[in-house]
C-alpha cells in the first residue's frame, strides 16, 4: 500500500494524499477523489492469499472465501479484489467494503501470466448472477450501444457474424446484448433511450413492460 501511496503523490495530477496519525490512523484521500486502478506487482500478488468473510448487502455474513488475489481495483467509487476462489476454483471479484473480516493464512500461490485485474472486475460486474437474464438484439453501432449499455452492465456480440471479416465498429448492424438485472422495470427506459430498432429475445415479461411504457407515453405525445 505504501508503494501505491507514493505513486499517487508522484502523479502529475492533483491527487491529495493525507496521513492520519493515531492508533487507528493511516492514509486517506479527499472526498470525491477519483483513483487510478491499483495493481499489485508480481511479488506482492504471490505473497498475498487473504481469507475473507464477505457480507451480503443487508449485513448478513456469507461463506468464508480464500481468494488468490491477482489485483485490487478501484472502480465506480468502490474497491474490488479479484482472483481465483481457492475453495471453488473459479474467478471472483469481491467488493472490499462488504468484507467483514480478512486474515492472511500461511502459504502462497502463483498468479497466471498476463492477467488484467481491471478487465476481470468489469467482466464480473457485467455477468453477475442477478435474478433476470435478459437478451435483446439492438440494431446500431457498438459505440452508440455502449454509450447506453456500458461494459459493466452488458456484453455485446455481433448477431450472425460474417466469417473471416473483422467487425466495423462504426457500421450499424444487429448486436446481441446479454445482461442480468434484479429489476426488469428499469430496462424499458434504457431500451427506449437507445432510439434504435430492437428485438427482445427474452424474457417475455420485459416485452410486456416495454409495451406498458409505450402505452403510458402515447397519450402525452398527442397532447398540445
Report helix, strand or coil for 59.
coil
Domain hosting residue 83, numbered range:
37-115
**CA angle, 76 as apex, 124 and 193 as ends, to 5°?**
85
Q: Based on the domain organization, do 18 and 90 belong to the same domain?
A: no
The mean per-residue pLDDT over the stretch 131-138 comes to 92
pLDDT of 198 reads 96
Q: Answer yes or no: is 121 within a domain.
A: no
User: Mean pLDDT over residues 54-59, rounded?
Assistant: 56
Does the pLDDT at position 45 exceed 50? no
Domain boundary among 115, 143, 167: 115
Count up the domains in the chain and report the number: 3
191 and 139 both lie in a single domain: yes
51 and 13 fall within a common domain:
no
Q: Tell me the average pLDDT across 110-137.
A: 81
Mark which of 81, 115, 149 sits at the end of a domain: 115
- Do 97 and 44 sit in the same domain of this protein? yes
CA 156, distance to chain mean position in Å, is 15
Owner of C-alpha cell 413492460: 209
Q: Do 60 and 96 have their domain in common?
A: yes
Banded pLDDT at 206 (limits 50, 70, 90)? very high
Q: What is the mean pLDDT of the chain?
A: 76
The cell numbers describing 185, all together, are 422495470
| Residues 42 and 24 both lie in one domain | no
Contact between residue 190 and residue 210 where contact means Cβ atoms under 8 Å apart: no
Residue 136's pLDDT is 95
| pLDDT for residue 47 | 46
Q: How far is CA 108 from CA 47, 96, 185, in A?
A: 6, 21, 45
Looking at the structure, tell me whether residues 105 and 163 fall in a common domain. Answer: no
Judgement on whether residues 22 and 74 belong to the same structural domain of the protein: no
Amino acid at each position: 500500500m505504501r508503494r501505491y501511496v507514493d505513486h499517487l503523490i508522484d502523479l502529475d495530477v492533483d491527487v491529495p494524499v493525507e496521513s492520519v496519525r493515531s492508533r487507528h490512523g493511516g492514509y486517506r484521500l479527499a472526498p470525491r477523489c477519483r483513483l487510478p486502478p491499483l495493481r499489485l506487482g508480481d511479488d506482492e500478488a504471490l505473497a498475498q492469499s487473504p481469507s475473507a468473510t464477505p457480507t451480503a448487502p443487508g449485513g448478513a455474513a456469507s461463506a468464508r472465501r480464500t481468494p488468490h488475489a491477482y489485483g485490487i481495483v478501484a472502480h465506480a467509487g468502490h474497491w474490488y479484489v479479484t482472483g481465483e476462489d481457492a475453495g471453488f476454483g473459479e474467478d471472483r471479484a469481491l467488493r472490499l467494503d462488504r468484507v467483514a473480516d480478512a486474515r492472511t493464512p500461511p502459504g502462497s500461490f502463483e498468479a497466471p501470466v498476463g492477467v488484467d485485474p481491471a478487465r476481470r472486475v468489469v467482466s464480473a460486474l457485467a455477468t453477475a448472477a442477478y435474478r433476470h437474464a435478459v437478451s435483446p438484439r439492438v440494431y446500431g453501432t457498438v459505440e452508440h450501444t455502449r454509450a447506453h449499455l456500458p461494459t459493466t452492465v452488458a456484453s455485446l456480440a455481433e448477431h450472425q457474424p460474417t466469417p473471416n471479416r473483422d467487425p466495423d465498429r462504426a457500421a450499424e448492424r444487429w448486436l446481441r446484448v446479454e445482461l442480468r438485472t434484479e429489476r426488469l422495470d428499469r430496462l424499458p427506459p434504457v431500451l427506449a433511450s437507445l432510439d434504435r430498432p430492437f428485438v427482445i429475445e427474452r424474457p417475455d415479461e420485459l416485452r410486456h413492460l416495454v409495451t406498458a411504457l409505450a402505452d403510458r407515453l402515447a397519450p402525452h405525445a398527442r397532447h398540445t
